[in-house]
Amino acid sequence: MADDVINSNVSRAIGRDAQRNNIAAAKVIADIVKTTLGPKGMDKMLVDNSGNITVTNDGVTILEEMEIDHPAAKMMVEIAKTQETEVGDGTTTVALLAGKLLENAETLLDRRIHPTVIVKGYNLAMEKSLEILEEIALPLSSREIMKQIAMTAMTGKGAESDKELLASLIVSASEEVGFGGFVDKEDIKIEKMKGEKISQSELIKGFVFEKERANIEMPSKVVEARILLIDFPIELKSPEAETKIEISSPEQLEGFMASEERYIKELVEEIVNSGANVVFCQKGIDDVAQYYLAKEGVMAFRRVQKSDMEKIAKAVSGKIVSNIRDIELGLGSAELVEEVKVGDNSYTYVRGCKNPRAVTLLLRAGSSHVLDEVERAVKDGLGDVITAFRYGKAVPGGGAVEIELAKRLRTFAKGISGREQLAVEEFAKSLESIPETLAENAGLDAVDIVAQLKKVHESGVSNAGLNLFTDKIEDTFASGIIEPLKVKTQAISSATELANMILRIDDVLISKPKQIKENKFEGLD
């Protein structure tokens, strides 16, 4: 009967089939990213249709680059992306956790426990976890801890040797533009420059971009820059826009040219009189204007992108002015504006801005592949530091927090009378997959490590985790393996939500794309 109702272009999976199929798909995704978890995780090489290569260890990058079709698998990719945008880190963790929750739910389904019971149990466990996490989280008491958070996030991500420096740049950048605990990611621009070593990366209290001055006669370096930002052109008015003028003699033409030139000259005079010695112009600057500006020793840039104009304005505390009468109101300042040649490209630095509201993290590395991976690492570190600034609490890493949660959840489960108890226990077990995977990826005996960790936690050391620098079980908070609390709470709640959503589905209907009726090339091969 149903088959008569449903269009034949729709494929359908019902009940247990649908469920098993979705769970299997989610597990596949979890398995793919699993081996990248932690500092000893492996990298993946991704090659797209056009042969572009990405080598990465970053969960969300891997998932984004893979072309995934299965709907449940796509939902996994979605939560990883949400994790990335919400907290900037923990993408592998969230995918892994969701996969584990589903895998462990399967054993309950096998025991004929109804999905709604599992969903209820998982929800109870999730809420309890958030409560416990609040309780055991530690305050962010120092800059050092912030740095350690950035370093933990960057561990194993292709920036290993220089992560101390990068962490310090990240924290300084956040401190520079942060206000009342809130740091807007947009105010920290990441600029990549090929050539040199990673250790040459720096924080610019200002702005860097690939751009050269409008004219080579202009100074390439201005100290104590007074910066003017304008969004109107410094050009002769375009002839088409003018009302037609009749020119019948050479004198008239000369007179006309002279008046136009005078206009430009006056414009430049006003700019110079305002005190500006550097000009960023969103529109064009014509030859005549360039000549006068150069003559006055003004360094000028033309056709600067709007988004760059806005960032420069924030960095130098200037205003973008649209009217020549307002120029004096808008001047910003910087200690130095300088054009520098790097390889074949010209870059302009705006340095030493006072209280900049936007800064630039300038990343350097020898090749663009390394540069890209360093950028991803820095973005993770930055994400964690911004999150930590915002939510203000941290937890010990290396699986410490997961083991402690699992322990307390098992105690909590004992107080639950229904079959939900079993789901809470499976939830606890799922959390243990994090330290288990960290150990496994480092080639250690995972079963043994988890057993040891549980024992140490039973004895009351709640910060005990696996330190993969030393392969020892110790207080990971004290060893500086630290993560923002919010990364964990976000991962746990969205992994649970996704697992529950998939468990509730008992019917999957997929419309096939409409087939093109006639294939012109049929039979050609």
* 494 near ligand ADP, judged by CB under 6 A: no
Within residues 59-98, the interface with Mg ion by CB under 5 A covers 89
Whose structure tokens read 């199929």?
21
Q: Which residue, 36 or 430, is less far from ligand ADP as judged by CB? A: 36
Distance CA 130, CA 128 (A): 5
Chain-centroid distance of CA 252 in Å reads: 61
Q: 337 φ, ψ to 5°?
A: -120, 125
Distance CA 514, CA 341 (A): 55
* 318 near ligand ADP, judged by CB under 6 A: no
Q: Which residue, 124 or 153, is less far from Mg ion as judged by CB? A: 153
Provide the sign of the torsion angle of the four alpha carbons 192, 365, 146, 351, taken in this order: negative
Cα 480 to Cα 8, 147, 341, 432, 467: the distances in Å are 59, 9, 39, 21, 10
Q: Which residue, 226 or 376, is less far from ligand ADP as judged by CB? A: 376
What is the nearest approach in angstroms of ligand ADP to the Cβ of residue 93? 3
- Partner whose binding site includes residue 99, from ligand ADP, Mg ion, none (CB under 5 to 8 Å by kind): none
**484 near 470, Cβ under 8 Å?**
no
Catalytic residues: 58, 91-92, 380
**213 near 340, Cβ under 8 Å?**
no
What is the SS3 assignment for 200?
A: helix
Element (H, E) at 65: helix 59-65
Distance CA 525, CA 521 (A): 8
- Partner whose binding site includes residue 155, from Mg ion, ligand ADP, none (CB under 5 to 8 Å by kind): ligand ADP
Q: 348-377 mask for Mg ion (x: CB under 5 A)?
A: ------------------------------
Other beta carbons within 10 Å of 40: 19
What is the nearest approach in angstroms of ligand ADP to the Cβ of residue 152? 5
* 99 near ligand ADP, judged by CB under 6 A: no
What is the nearest approach in angstroms of Mg ion to the Cβ of residue 19? 31
Q: Which residue, 301 or 427, is less far from ligand ADP as judged by CB? A: 427
Interface residue with ligand ADP among 63, 126, 361, 481 (CB under 6 A) is 481
Q: 261 φ, ψ to 5°?
A: -65, -35
Within residues 458-477, the interface with ligand ADP by CB under 6 A covers 466-469
Distance CA 379, CA 87 (A): 11
- Partner whose binding site includes residue 466, from ligand ADP, Mg ion, none (CB under 5 to 8 Å by kind): ligand ADP
* 104 near ligand ADP, judged by CB under 6 A: no
* 434 near ligand ADP, judged by CB under 6 A: yes
Q: Which residue, 36 or 360, is less far from Mg ion as judged by CB? A: 36
Within residues 116-175, the interface with ligand ADP by CB under 6 A covers 152, 155
* 37 near ligand ADP, judged by CB under 6 A: yes
Interface residue with ligand ADP among 22, 92, 387, 421 (CB under 6 A) is 92
* 438 near ligand ADP, judged by CB under 6 A: yes
Distance CA 374, CA 163 (A): 10
Taking Cα atoms as reference points, which of 297, 287, 276, 285 lies closest to residue 218? 297
What is the nearest approach in angstroms of ligand ADP to the Cβ of residue 287? 53
- Partner whose binding site includes residue 225, from ligand ADP, Mg ion, none (CB under 5 to 8 Å by kind): none
Report residue 109 as tokens: 């389904």
Q: What is the 3-state secondary structure (H, E, C) of 340-383?
A: EEECCEEEEEEECCCCCCCEEEEEEECCHHHHHHHHHHHHHHHH
- DSSP, res 484: E
Whose structure tokens read 């030493």?
352
Q: Which residue, 374 or 468, is less far from ligand ADP as judged by CB? A: 468
Q: Which residue, 65 or 335, is less far from Mg ion as judged by CB? A: 65
Distance CA 425, CA 410 (A): 6
Minimal CB distance to Mg ion: which residue? 89
What is the nearest approach in angstroms of ligand ADP to the Cβ of residue 442? 8
Q: Which residue, 37 or 150, is less far from ligand ADP as judged by CB? A: 37
Length of the chain: 525
- DSSP, res 47: E
Minimal CB distance to ligand ADP: which residue? 397
Query: By the criterion CB under 6 A, which residues form the site for ligand ADP?
Result: 36-39, 41, 59, 89-93, 152, 155, 397-398, 434, 438, 466-469, 481, 483
Query: By the criterion CB under 5 A, which residues form the site for Mg ion?
Result: 89
